[in-house]
Amino acid sequence: MRLVVATLLIVLPMIIMVMGCASGDKKQGQAPVAASTPLPLDPTESYEIAEWWTNGKQLLQLTEIGVYRLYAGINHYHMPMERGQWFKRNYAALWIEPYAELPREPARVSIRKVGGELQLDVRNLQPMSAIDGPPDVIEDHLIGGWTGDIGSLLLDANLRYILHRREVRTSGPASLASEEGGWKVQDDFLILEPDSRGIASTVVRVHLDEDGLFLESPQGRLVPRIVPFGEG
């Protein structure tokens, strides 16, 4: 009996040692935590909230004056699907409160860090990452002055336009009639909507080919102006 006990006292430590080595090897073989795993924010770490955020499908703007705009797509010239006020209450979250006729509770937007970069969890949308500015869209390339047979056209960044329309007379020189209104892009068309209800909208096709970007109106082609607007 004493021999059996002595044998167990010798064998058991060896078994435990072997199992411990195997467990250690198994831990070493496990994959490290992925860089995309969300990590909690360090309350002592300072960070700045960027103005523009996107997940590739939607777009969020957080202005310095506490106004936010949430877009259904990535075009910031389109009407936002939601806008209101935003504010921070702690280091790990901010709140958005949409403008509405009836008061609504502010929605919590979690702030987390993934792969060393901040991300926002906005409602039920995919996480959003900060970007330097809004994505480039066709409207960015249309802003400015244009000229052609139709006259002189100015498109500004606030989606307003001024058109000095050239009117051809049967006798005497051509004259210019001015109109103002709002502009927008739908598919491949630029639509000019005058403020005056007595003037019909003008639809212009947007072309981009080897000659560059130009507009095709019923009265002819418009090209970017290279002289000050209103001259020439």
DSSP state letter for 105: P
Is the pLDDT assigned to residue 33 strictly greater than 70?
A: no
Mean pLDDT of 123-151: 95
CB 186 within 8 A of CB 192: no
Mean pLDDT of 179-189: 95
pTM tops 0.75: no
Class of domain 138-224: mainly beta
Domain boundaries, the chain: 52-131, 138-224
Report CA 182 to chain centroid distance, whole Å. Answer: 23
Could you tell me which of 139, 224, 145 has the C-alpha nearest to residue 188? 139
Beta-carbon neighbour count of residue 47 at 10 Å? 11
| Per-residue pLDDT at 57 exceeds 60 | yes
Lowest-pLDDT choice from 28-37, 112-121, 209-218, 220-229 = 28-37
The mean per-residue pLDDT over the stretch 142-156 comes to 94
- For the stretch 84-119, pLDDT in tens is 999 998 888 999 999 987 778 899 999 998 888 999
Among residues 67, 124, 54, which one has the least CA distance to residue 97? 67
Q: Is the pLDDT of residue 35 over 70?
A: no
Q: Quote the pLDDT of residue 8.
A: 41
Query: What per-residue confidence (pLDDT) applies to 41?
Result: 65
Q: Is 169 left (phi over 0), alpha (psi -120 to 50) or beta?
A: beta
